[in-house]
Structures are given as structure tokens and as C-alpha cells.
Amino acid sequence: MSGEGEGQDLRDAVKRLEATVAALETRLASLEAREAPRPVSAPALPSVTPPVAAPEQRDLEAHVGTYWLSRLGIVALIIGIAYLITYHFGELGVLARVGAGYLLSAGLGAFGLWLARRHQLFGRIVFGGGLALAYFVTYALHFIPAVRVIDSEVLALVLLAGFVVAIVTIAHRMQSETVAGIALFLGLHTGMLSDITAFTLLSTTLLAAGALFFLVRNRWVIVPMSSLVAVYSTHVVWAVRTGHMAPGAPEHDRLVLSLGFLALYFLLFSVALLVRPRDLPVRASLAFTLLNWAGLTSLGAYEVSQEQDSGLFTFLLVVALAHGAGAAVSRLQRAPVALTHAYLALTAVTLALAMPARYDDVALVAAWTVTGLVAGLAARGVASPVLRGVGVLILYVALGACEWETPGRLTLLAGLVVAFVLVERGGTVRVAGLPEPEARTLFTAICAVGAGLSLVALVGARMPEGLVTLGWVIAAFLLFGVGFAVRERWYRLAALAVLGLALGRLVLVDVAKLPPDQRVVTFILLGVMLLLVSYTYTRLRDRRG
């Protein structure tokens, strides 16, 4: 028994020694790895730095040759094979159609896997093309008449859904954004080779959902964004090609079907974006939001205007409410502030776009003025400089639409003056690349110019034709009053600019053309107003002194 104990102790000691040696070897390897780069940074830099331009040129050439040509090549190849299947496979028997199609896709996929052993990226591009071709073959089994083997639309959709799941699973296990992007992108675009039905749109939606899996799970950006562009672009092509999404159906049903798919696209991409918004780069989130809004708004407005103009205002109002809800959800999800501000700004822009569908003339200008004012004031509560900027932009649109002969124009212009001043006061202002004080100054200057233009138009509309210059002087005097009242220098600078224009017109035009009586009135009132303004400046200077 004692001999066995001693033997066990010896074995334990040997194990401890082996563990110690292994730990020392690991430590030594780590120290060598840390010290290895040191000799590289020695004084040999002068001999390495001069030839910089040549490698960049070669890198550009290599990037075009390896990245773009491979992708363009696989796209052309898959489209060519898809046309081959569409036009010539109908001459084969049932089993031959199915077998030849899947045999081609399997051969291309196997060839891609073989290439990936030596050139991983290139091989995965070819393998993704094989998956896309297999998807198209599955799609063609029902949706292309010349190749149709399956009559049941439900069965065809089940097969397509299963194949999309297979593509997603394979790409996810390979952790290859290249495979996912090539397969889903080509799958989306090969569907454009056939006639358009409601089930074609469903197949496109399945592919979009597969792309969004990678946005939610892997936080990949390129694949979902390219799918978003492809989905809406395909919808555009279908609308142009067929005129409607469901030929032969009643007009109301066609419109509901088209809007239903657009709403489904919008919801899919919005939900995927807002599930975990903090995990995505801010620029990618903003790009998703803008592209999603542009696709839904433009295509939906086109479809509604084609069928019934009266529904355009309601449609755009619903889109605005949807983006307002997106802003609320993004805030609850603690998304980046820029994403919430983008949703709010798109809400205001959509409301402004909706106004011409319901109002015109005076009512339209008033609606734009109210929209801009509400957006600017709401921006204070949510501290959104982007929304404030959009509000000011809408006010400028209202100012530009306020024609000289519009009835009630004076009231509208007075409202615009008040709106510019109210939107300008208070709140934070940010402009990319500018410090906050400079951005605030720029924003105040823009609002002061808008208020000044509105005042000039307001007073000028009330003055007789021969006293336009005097009207400009009165407008400048009122701007001085606003500037002193709100203690804002930019309003006073705008007043000085208007005053300078009035003096130039007075000297160059009015002195020679005005009748004596109007000349007397103009110069007397001009002198009185200039003295009053100068006296005000003098008092302010004395107080500061």
C-alpha cells in the first residue's frame, strides 16, 4: 500500500511539473509575440515611405478586378441561366426540367465550395450564385408558365419559404455576408424575369424577411440595405411594367393590394431596425430610415394618385403618423438621438407634402405656416435641432408660395413674421462641423432673413406703387423694433441690410422718377426714422457705458 501511495505522489509531482512547464512555454510565447514587432519600427522608415502612390493605384485596380468584376460576373451568369431556364426548359419533360435546373445550381454551388478552399471570397461569391439559381428554379416551378410543374400556389410559397430559410441558415452558419448578399440579391432580381402576381410579391417579401434576419441577429448592414433598395426598386419596375400590381382585379382591390405590400415592406424594415437600434452604426440607421420613408412615400403616393386623388392626403397623413410612432418607439428603445430626430423630421416633411393634396391658395400657405410653426415649437420640447431646421424650411416654402395677388396675403405674411421669430427663440441648434454657438448664430441669421423678407413683402404690399422705397424703410424700422425687443443682433443686421437696399433704390431710382410730393414725403419720413434708430443706438451705447 505504501508503494502505491509513493507512486501516486510521484505521478502527481510529474503532472505538476508538466503543468508548470506548459505555463512557462505559454508565457514565453506571449512575450515573444509582444517583442516581435519592435525591430520593424527601427530607423528604416525613410527608405520605405517614398513609394506611396504606386501601391494605391495597384490596390484600386485589384479591388475593381477582384471585388466588382466577380460580383458583376456572377450576376450576369445567373441572369443568363435564368433566361435559359425561362425560354428553353419548357421543351423538356417534367422531371428533366426539375432535374436540369437543380443540377445546374448544385454544380455551380459545388464549384464555388471547391474554389473557396483556395480563394475563399471568390469561391463564396460563386457558391452564393448557386444558391440564388436554386431559388430561381424553385420559383420557376410554379411562377414561370413555360417551366411550371407545381399548380398549387400555396405549395409553391411553402417551398420558397423553406428555401429562403435554407439560404439564411447556410449563410448564418458560414458567417458569410457575401453568400447571403449574393443569394438574396440575385433571388430578388431574378423574380423580375416573370409575370407579376400577388404571389410574386409574397416571394419578394420572403426574401426581404430573410435579409432582415441578418440585420437583427448578425447586425449586418449591406445585405439588408441592398435588399431594401431591391424590394422597392422591384416594386417600381413592376408598377411601370404592368400599370397595376394585380392585373385584372377591380381598381379598389389592386390599390389595396399594392398599399398592403408597401405597408408590409415598411413594417418589416422598421421593426428590424428598432428591435436593437443601439447595436447599429448611426449612419446605417439613418440610411435605413430615409430609404424606407422614400420607398413607401413615393410608391404609395404614385399608386394612390393613379386611382383616386382624394385619398392622397389621407395616405400621406397615415405615413406621417407612422413615422411619429417610429420616433416614439425609438425613444422608448433608447435608440441613438439622431434616429429619433430623423423620424420626427420625416413626420414634419410628410405633413408638408400632404398639404397640397387638400388645400390650395390661401389655405395652403396657412397650412404650411402652421406646420412649420408647430414643427419648430415641438422641436424645443424634444430638443431636436433637425426638426427645428425642417420647421424653418417649411416656413420658407410658405413664404415662397405667398404670391403678391393672393387674397388675405397680408395676414399670411404677418403670421410668417411671427412664426419665424417664435421658431428662432430658444432651444438648441446643431450643425455638422460647427460648434454650438456658431450653429446657433447661423440658425438665428436664417430666421432673421425670413422674418425680414416677410416684413418687406408685408409692408410693400400695403404701400402705393410710388412709395415702395418708403415701404422698405418702414419694414427696416419694424425689424429694428423686433431686434431691440428680443435683444437679438441679427434682426438689427437684417434691418440694416434692408435699409441699405432702400437707400440705394432711393438714390438710383426714386430721385429721378418720383413726383415732388412723394419725394418730399419719402425723404422726410426716411430722415425721421433714421434719426429715431440712431437715437436708440445712442441710448443703448450710453447705458452700456
Report the 3 state secondary structure along 225-252.
HHHHHHHHHHHHHHHHHHCCCCCCCCHH
pLDDT of residue 482: 83
Instruction: Name the nearest CA neighbour of 208 among 89, 313, 291, 315.
Output: 291
In this predicted structure, what is the pLDDT of residue 246? Answer: 47
What pLDDT is stored for residue 513 in this prediction?
65
Neighbours of 396 (CB within 10 A): 19
Calpha distance 231→142 (Å, rounded): 21
- Whether 469 contacts 510, CB under 8 Å: yes
Pair 161, 111: CB distance under 8 Å: no
Amino acid at 485: A
Q: Is 302 exposed, middle or buried (0-12, 13-18, 19+ CB in 10 A)?
A: middle
Q: Taking a C-beta distance cutoff of 8 angstroms, is the pair 387, 378 a contact?
A: yes
Among all chains, which residue has been given the C-alpha cell 440607421? 285
**Are 148 and 141 a contacting pair, CB within 8 Å?**
yes
3-state secondary structure of 406: coil
Q: What is the 3-state composition of the chain as percent helix, strand, coil, each rounded to the nearest 5? A: 85, 0, 15
Q: DSSP of 7-44, one letter per residue?
A: HHHHHHHHHHHHHHHHHHHHHHHHHHHHHTTGGGGSTT
Are residues 294 and 246 in contact, defined by beta-carbon separation less than 8 angstroms?
Answer: no
pLDDT profile of the chain (545 residues), mean per 10 = 53 68 64 48 46 51 72 82 77 77 90 88 88 86 79 83 87 84 74 62 80 81 82 76 51 76 91 86 91 93 79 93 95 91 96 92 90 92 89 93 67 88 74 67 87 83 70 81 81 82 73 68 75 75 63
Burial class of residue 134, CB neighbours in 10 A (0-12, 13-18, 19+):
buried
Query: Residue 287: its pLDDT value, please?
Result: 92
Query: Phi/psi at 144 (nearest 5 deg)?
Result: -110, 115
Rg (CA), the chain: 35
Structural domain boundaries in the chain: 360-428+438-443, 463-544
Q: Which residues contact 172 (CB under 8 A, 6 or more apart)?
A: 180, 213, 214, 217, 218
Region for residue 171 given its phi and psi (left: phi exceeds 0; alpha: psi -120 to 50; beta: otherwise): alpha
Q: Give pLDDT, residue 140.
A: 82
Identify the CA nearest to 391 among candidates 416, 359, 357, 362. Answer: 416
Distance separating alpha carbons of residues 340 and 329, to the nearest angstrom: 9
Using alpha carbons, list the distances in angstroms from residue 459 to 453, 468, 470, 476.
10, 9, 9, 10
pTM for the whole structure:
0.73
What's the CA gap between 393 and 210, in Å, rounded? 39
CB atoms within 10 A of CB 191: 24
Would you call 431 helix, strand, or coil by DSSP? Answer: coil
